Each structure stands twice: as structure tokens, then as C-alpha cells.
């Protein structure tokens, strides 16, 4: 119910798909208490930054954004500014020291208290809600979704892995899974509402386990695909040490599960992987790739890569390049290593690769991946592929943009089609990041 005495809110969301899903959950919690979304930042009484701490530049973006809001808060009497998500959980009360104009900060397990936080902040309190709640999954909340074609459904939160470089266990706590039946029911509801695609989210979906029945992610993915046969089903992210043959067989057997697996490797050196505490070697990773491609020959495989991790040598960097050449990833998310305080690496390993070397190695990784992606995308020229149209192309309203089941971006002539439709497109051109084509 709308309450005109409550300030309107506006979100800026940074970071991963899980953060986007969390913003939709917070929107539902706020609207249930009578808060209403503002049309834009200028008209909002509350500005909320849903933050990401996974890399140093992501944290810097939040700081830069807050500096911009400092003047706005000074000019607009009564404006409330809050930071939620991973950065406050990571930096904690230091944020009030660095940004004294902040009204409140809140971690990922405290969103149910968000309406009360805003009210108390409006009354003059400065608040920090940073408790972990290892039972919280936000199950049963109907998110305020930002789109009508594709939707995110978190199936688990947190992570029990202790990768040396990763701050997620610090910011999001231990693993806990959403109940099996609630996930399946939510996807079925989305299908009935006209959504065409859903992505199941988790820091490591391979670790999903229903607390009551013990059913794993393979069973969940199969059940979701059966309940929503008209929808495309995607998921992210998988951990190499946990991905199972049973899961890959489900993907191979169910036609509406996209043949795309994001499988972060981070490095091509087994020594570096051990330092990273990844739980697998280079050969074990390649063995998983062989298993996946044996069962799904046309699968798209994408990855994450880190350049310049602690003590990495030139030879170990070349091992990453050689692994890329061997696997031929469709695309990669590529970064150079930055120390995240609170991680195992920050406590135990020297950040001894000079930044200039990190950047040079990263550029070599980017250049190689662009060449591989261009080769991979050019192989699609002449083929007809099914594309889910998502939106108008940025270049022209006469074109639509969508994605294949393998997650390749495709731009094609609009013709009689609209966003939300599945379109068969004949591919006529390719760059390292985008396909172009014409509807068949």
C-alpha cells in the first residue's frame, strides 16, 4: 500500500547478477512496507547503492559514486544515502569514516530490515546492519523484476570455498540453498507470466543441496526444465572441482537448457592454482572440459582468468596462454590480480608481481581471447541459429539484439519481430564479440 509520507527510493546496482537479483528482492521488501520507486535519482528521497567488492576497481567505483552524491546530499535537504551489499560487509564501519555523510550501511543478509533502516535514518540515526544470517535465503519473496523477458532466480547464497583471492566468503558468508520446491515453483510462475528465459544463480551452483530431501543441482536443473519446457534455462556459476557428469548429462538431454557452461579456471598453472586454493589442477580442469565436450559437442564454454597472481612467473603466465589455446574458450572475463583485504592471499602471500607486468600479461590474455573469439564467432557465419530477441539494438531501432543458446550476442534486422520472441537468424557476419544476421 502506498504511503505518501515515506520517501521514494532509487537503486544504483553494481556488480554481478546476484546483486541485480538482490536489488529486485529489496524492491519487493520496500514496496511491501509502502515505499515507492522514484522515476529517477533526482526525484528520489532515498538513494541506495547496491555494491560489489569482488575487485578493487569495483570498490573504487562505489567510492567515486559516493563522492558525486556528497554534493547532491548537501543540496537536497532530507536526502537519505545508503550503501548495501558486499562493500559495507567488506569494509564495515570504515565506510562511515571515509564517507561521513552516509546515513546507513547494510550487508547482504540484512535486507529484511531495510524499510526500518530507512525510517530510522530519516529520523536522524546512523546505522550499520552487518550481521551474518546463515539461514537467510529470502525464499518466499516475490521480487520486483526489472524486465519481462529474462529473470534471475537465486538458488543458493554464500560460498564454502576458500579461494585465496576471493572476498565472497567474507561478504556473503557460508553456503545455504533455497528450498527445492520453492525454486521450481518460482520458475513455473515466471513461465506462466510470459518470461522466456531464466538464469539460476549461485556463487557455486554445483554445491546446491536441498536441506530436506538432499536433492542436488542436477536434480534441480532437471526439475526446472521439466516444469518450464517453453523457457530457456541458464545457470551460473560452476566450480571446476565440483561439476559432475550427472549435471552435464542433464544439460545434454534437456533441449531447453542452454548449452553454455561458465567454468572459471583463473590460471593455467597447477602451482598457481594450488596457491589460489582452487582445489583442482590444470589437468583436472582439462579433464572436466573433455568430459563436457564429449557429452555436449556443441557446448559454449566461457571462463574467468586472473593475470599476475602472487609469485606468478613469465612461464606460468605462458601456461595460461597455452591453456586458452587448448580449450578455445568462447569468451572470458579477464582481470589482473588486486589484493582484497580479508582474503587468504592478503594474509599469506606477497603481492609481488609489479602492476605494469600484471597489465602487460592481462593485455596478452585479452589479445589472445579476442583472436580465439573472432575465430569461434566466424564459424557461425552461414549457419541459422535460434535467437531470443531481448531489446532494440543500441545502434538502431530497426535492429534487434538477442542471444543464442550458447550466449553469443546477435544483432539482426527487426523485420516483423519484437523483443521476447524466438527468432531464427541466418548469421552473415562476425566480430570477436557480436554476430550479425538476417531473420529467416
Q: Is residue 419 part of a domain?
A: yes
3-class secondary structure, 106:
strand
- Are residues 250 and 220 in contact, defined by beta-carbon separation less than 8 angstroms? no
CA distances from 259 to 98, 137, 189, 297 (A): 45, 28, 23, 9
Domain boundary at 241, 258, 275, which? 258
- In this predicted structure, what is the pLDDT of residue 146? 87
- Are residues 225 and 188 in contact, defined by beta-carbon separation less than 8 angstroms? no
Section 302-322 average pLDDT: 98
- Are residues 273 and 281 in contact, defined by beta-carbon separation less than 8 angstroms? yes
- In this predicted structure, what is the pLDDT of residue 58? 83
Same domain, 110 and 215: no
Section 178-204 average pLDDT: 97
Q: Is residue 172 part of a domain?
A: yes
CATH number at residue 80: 3.40.50.12160
Determine the Cα–Cα distance for residues 54 and 335; give it in Å rounded to an integer.
Answer: 11
Same domain, 26 and 125: yes
Helix, strand and coil content of the chain, in percent to the nearest 5, comes to 40, 20, 40
CATH number at residue 193: 3.30.750.210
- In this predicted structure, what is the pLDDT of residue 399? 97
Q: Is residue 426 part of a domain?
A: yes
pLDDT above 60: residue 342: yes
Same domain, 99 and 176: no
3-class secondary structure, 75:
helix
Determine the Cα–Cα distance for residues 399 and 294; give it in Å rounded to an integer.
Answer: 36
Q: Is residue 135 part of a domain?
A: no
Same domain, 100 and 203: no
Q: Is residue 233 part of a domain?
A: yes
Percentage of residues of the chain with pLDDT beyond 90? 91
Residue position matching grid coordinates 554464500: 158
pLDDT above 60: residue 14: yes
Same domain, 122 and 155: no
Give the model's confidence band at 56: pLDDT under 50 very low, under 70 low, under 90 confident, else very high: confident
Same domain, 88 and 174: no
Who's near 49: CB < 8 A, 6+ residues apart? 11, 12, 14, 62, 65, 66, 81, 82, 83, 84, 85
What 8-state DSSP symbol labels residue 198? E
CATH number at residue 392: 2.40.50.140
Same domain, 50 and 117: yes
Same domain, 59 and 168: no
Give the model's confidence band at 54: pLDDT under 50 very low, under 70 low, under 90 confident, else very high: confident
Section 379-402 average pLDDT: 96
Between residues 342 and 403, the one the model is more confident about: 403
Sign (positive or negative) of CA dihedral 47, 53, 55, 57: positive
Same domain, 159 and 68: no
Give the model's confidence band at 2: pLDDT under 50 very low, under 70 low, under 90 confident, else very high: low
Alpha carbon 308 to its chain's center: 23
Residues in the chain: 440
Same domain, 94 and 125: yes
- In this predicted structure, what is the pLDDT of residue 59? 86
Low-confidence winner among 4-13, 176-185, 241-250, 396-405 (lowest mean pLDDT): 4-13
Q: Is residue 333 part of a domain?
A: no
Number of helical (H) and strand (E) elements in the chain, helices listed first = 14, 18
Determine the Cα–Cα distance for residues 345 and 356; give it in Å rounded to an integer.
Answer: 20
As a whole number of Å, the CA-based R_g of the chain is: 22
The 10s digit of each residue's pLDDT in 111-148 is 999 999 999 999 999 999 999 999 999 999 999 998 99
In 3D space, the residue among 302, 169, 185 whose CA is nearest the CA of residue 236 turns out to be: 302
pLDDT above 60: residue 1: no
pLDDT above 60: residue 311: yes
Section 312-323 average pLDDT: 98
Rounded to the nearest integer, the mean pLDDT of the chain is: 95
Same domain, 197 and 107: no
Same domain, 118 and 16: yes
- Are residues 233 and 256 in contact, defined by beta-carbon separation less than 8 angstroms? yes
Q: How many domains, in total, are found in the chain?
A: 3
Per-residue exposure over 110-126, b if at least 16 CB sit within 10 Å of its own CB, e if not: bbebbbebbeebbeeee
Section 414-434 average pLDDT: 97
Domain boundary at 94, 129, 164, which? 129
The 10s digit of each residue's pLDDT in 269-289 is 999 999 999 999 999 999 999
* Torsion angles phi and psi, residue 300, rounded to 5: -95, 130
Q: Residue 197's beta-bridge partner residues?
A: 150, 232
In 3D space, the residue among 425, 368, 418, 378 whose CA is nearest the CA of residue 398 turns out to be: 418
Give the model's confidence band at 405: pLDDT under 50 very low, under 70 low, under 90 confident, else very high: very high
Domain boundary at 68, 103, 129, which? 129
Q: Is residue 101 part of a domain?
A: yes
For the whole model, what pTM was predicted?
Answer: 0.94
pLDDT above 70: residue 4: no
- In this predicted structure, what is the pLDDT of residue 291? 98
Section 246-272 average pLDDT: 98
Grid coordinates of 319: 601456461
Q: Name the residue range of residue 161's domain.
A: 147-258
Low-confidence winner among 14-23, 51-60, 100-109 (lowest mean pLDDT): 51-60
Q: Is residue 205 part of a domain?
A: yes
Amino acid at each position: 500500500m502506498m504511503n505518501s509520507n515515506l520517501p521514494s527510493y532509487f537503486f544504483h546496482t553494481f556488480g554481478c547478477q546476484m546483486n541485480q537479483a538482490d536489488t529486485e528482492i529489496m524492491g519487493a521488501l520496500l514496496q511491501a512496507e509502502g515505499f515507492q520507486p522514484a522515476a529517477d535519482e533526482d526525484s528520489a528521497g532515498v538513494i541506495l547503492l547496491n555494491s560489489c567488492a569482488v575487485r578493487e576497481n569495483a570498490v573504487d567505483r562505489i567510492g567515486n559514486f559516493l563522492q558525486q552524491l556528497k554534493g547532491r546530499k548537501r543540496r537536497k535537504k532530507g536526502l537519505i544515502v545508503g550503501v548495501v551489499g558486499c562493500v559495507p560487509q567488506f569494509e564495515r564501519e570504515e565506510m562511515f569514516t571515509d564517507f561521513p555523510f552516509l546515513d546507513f550501511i547494510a550487508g547482504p543478509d540484512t535486507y529484511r530490515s531495510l524499510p526500518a533502516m530507512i525510517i530510522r535514518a530519516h529520523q536522524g540515526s546512523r546505522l550499520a546492519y552487518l550481521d551474518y544470517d546463515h539461514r537467510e535465503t529470502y525464499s518466499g519473496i516475490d521480487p520486483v523484476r526489472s524486465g519481462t523477458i529474462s529473470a534471475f532466480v537465486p538458488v543458493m547464497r554464500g560460498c564454502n570455498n576458500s579461494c585465496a583471492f576471493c572476498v565472497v566468503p567474507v561478504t556473503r558468508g557460508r553456503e545455504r540453498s533455497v528450498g527445492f520446491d520453492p525454486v521450481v515453483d518460482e520458475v513455473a510462475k515466471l513461465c506462466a507470466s510470459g518470461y522466456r528465459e531464466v538464469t539460476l544463480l549461485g556463487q557455486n551452483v554445483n554445491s546446491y543441496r536441498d536441506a530436506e530431501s538432499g536433492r542436488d543441482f542436477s536434480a534441480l536443473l532437471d526439475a526446472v526444465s521439466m516444469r518450464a519446457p517453453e523457457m530457456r534455462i541458464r545457470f551460473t556459476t560452476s566450480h571446476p572441482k565440483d561439476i559432475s557428469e550427472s549435471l552435464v548429462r542433464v544439460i545434454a538431454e534437456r533441449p531447453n537448457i542452454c548449452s553454455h557452461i561458465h567454468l572459471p579456471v583463473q590460471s593455467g598453472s597447477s602451482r598457481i592454482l594450488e596457491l589460489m586454493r582452487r582445489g583442482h589442477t590444470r589437468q583436472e580442469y582439462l579433464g572436466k572440459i573433455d568430459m563436457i565436450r564429449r557429452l555436449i559437442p556443441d557446448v559454449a564454454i566461457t571462463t574467468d582468468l586472473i593475470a599476475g597472481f602472487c609469485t606468478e612467473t613469465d612461464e606460468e603466465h605462458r601456461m595460461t596462454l597455452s591453456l586458452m589455446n587448448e580449450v578455445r574458450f568462447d569468451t572470458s572475463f579477464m582481470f589482473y590480480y588486486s589484493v582484497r583485504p580479508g582474503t587468504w592471499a592478503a594474509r599469506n602471500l606477497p603481492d609481488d608481481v609489479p602492476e605494469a607486468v600484471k597489465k602487460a600479461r592481462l593485455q596478452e590474455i585479452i589479445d589472445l581471447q579476442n583472436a580465439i573469439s573472432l575465430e569461434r564467432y566466424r564459424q557461425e557465419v552461414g549457419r541459422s541459429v535460434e535467437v531470443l530477441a531481448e531489446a532494440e539494438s543500441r545502434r538502431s531501432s530497426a535492429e534487434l539484439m538477442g542471444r543464442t543458446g550458447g550466449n553469443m550476442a546477435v544483432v539482426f534486422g527487426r523485420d516483423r519481430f519484437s523483443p521476447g520472441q524466438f527468432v531464427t537468424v541466418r548469421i552473415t557476419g562476425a566480430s570477436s564479440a557480436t554476430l550479425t544476421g538476417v531473420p529467416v
